Structure 1
Amino acid sequence: MTLNDTERHRTSDELKSNLDLSGLTMAEVAADLHFTPQRLRSTLDTDLACDPVDVWQLRDYLDQAVRDTGGRPAPYTVLTRGSRLKARMWFSLRKAPRHDFAAS
C-alpha cells in the first residue's frame, strides 16, 4: 500500500491537525512512541523515507490523545478503517501507546 503525493500531503495535514488538537509537544510524542525527533518529523511529513507502520502508529496515538483530552479528532480521509484492513495485509501494524496526561 503506497500513498500518492496528494494522499501523503493530505495525511500529513491531518496528522498535524490532530497533533495540534492533542495539545502535546513534539518531544512528548517522540518520547511516548520511542521515536527520534527526526523520525517523528519524517512521519508527520509522511515523506517518502518514513515507515508506513510508523504513520499508522502515530495516527492511532494522536487519535486517542485527542479523545483522551475530551476532544474530537480531525477525520482522516486516507488512513480510514478500510485502509487499515488493506494495510494489515502489507504490514505488521503496532499498537499505539497512550500518553499519560496525569503525568504531564
Structure 2
Amino acid sequence: MSRTPAETEATSQELHALRDALPLANAPIESALGYAPGGLQAALDVHANPIEVWRTRDYLVSLARAHGIPIPRFSRLSDNMRSSAQRWFGPWDVPTM
C-alpha cells in the first residue's frame, strides 16, 4: 500500500483530528497500545509501521465511540480498505478498553 505525500499528510491530519477530539491524555492511549512514552506521535504522523497506524486508528475509533464522539471520514484508512490492508500487512489486534 503506497501513499503519495499528499495522502500521507491527509491521513495524518485525520488521525490527529480524531486524537484531538478525545478527552484523554496520550499516556493511557500509549499504554493501551503498548507504545513507549511519546510513541503515539509516530503513528499519528504516519511514520510508523502500517499495522501500527491501523491499530492506532482502530483504537482511537473505539475510544471515540465510547465517548460519543463522531467518527471522521477516513480517506485512506477507511473500513473498505481494511481487507486490502490485512492482505498486505497481516492482521492486527486492537486493545479493548
Q: Same fold (TM over 0.5)?
A: yes
Deviation string for 1:82-104 (max 9, x for gaps)?
Answer: 211111111123121133xxxxx
The AA in structure 1 aligned to 2:62 is Q
Give the corresponding residue for 1:45: 45
Name the count of aligned residue pairs. 97
Give unmatched runs, 5+ long, in structure 2.
Answer: none
Q: TM-score, normalised by structure 1?
A: 0.84
**Paired residues of 1:60 and 1:96 also in contact (CA < 8 A):** yes
Q: Distance in 2 between matches of 1:24 and 1:95?
A: 21
Give the corresponding residue for 1:15: 15
Deviation string for 1:46-102 (max 9, x for gaps)?
Answer: 12xx10000000000001100101121222111012211111111123121133xxx
Structure 1 position 34, deviation (Å): 0.5
Give unmatched runs, 5+ long, in structure 1.
Answer: 100-104
Instruction: State the 4+ residue runs in structure 1 displaced beyond 2 angstroms.
Output: none
Q: Between the two proteins, what is the percent identity of the paired residues?
A: 30
Root-mean-square deviation (CA, aligned residues, Å) is 1.3
The AA in structure 2 aligned to 1:2 is S
2:77 equivalent among 76, 79, 98: 79
Q: TM-score, normalised by structure 2?
A: 0.90
The AA in structure 2 aligned to 1:59 is R
The AA in structure 1 aligned to 2:69 is G
